[in-house]
């Protein structure tokens, strides 16, 4: 089976786009991490104690 130039071109473009999407998603997933302040005060309508402050490094 012989693959023509158009098929090779389209498959190459698709491969390049997939690599670009993978790299851009990976780099943005690690760059956009923020610290979220979460204090659980009540579980099942029972208070579990005072809120603890979050210390950022």
Domain ranges of the chain: 5-47
pTM above 0.85, yes or no: no
CA atoms within 13 A on the CB side of 4: 1
Q: What is the pLDDT along the chain (57 residues), one digit of tens a residue?
A: 677 999 999 999 999 999 998 888 776 656 556 666 676 666 676 666 666 666 766
Alpha helices (H) along 1-57: 5-31
Mapped onto helix, strand or coil, the DSSP state of residue 31 is: helix
């Amino acid at each position: 089976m012989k693959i023509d130039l158009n098929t090779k071109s389209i498959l190459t473009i698709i491969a390049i786009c997939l690599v670009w999407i993978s790299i851009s998603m990976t780099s943005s997933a690690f760059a956009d991490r923020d610290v979220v302040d979460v204090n659980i005060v009540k579980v099942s309508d029972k208070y579990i104690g005072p809120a603890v402050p979050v210390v950022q490094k």
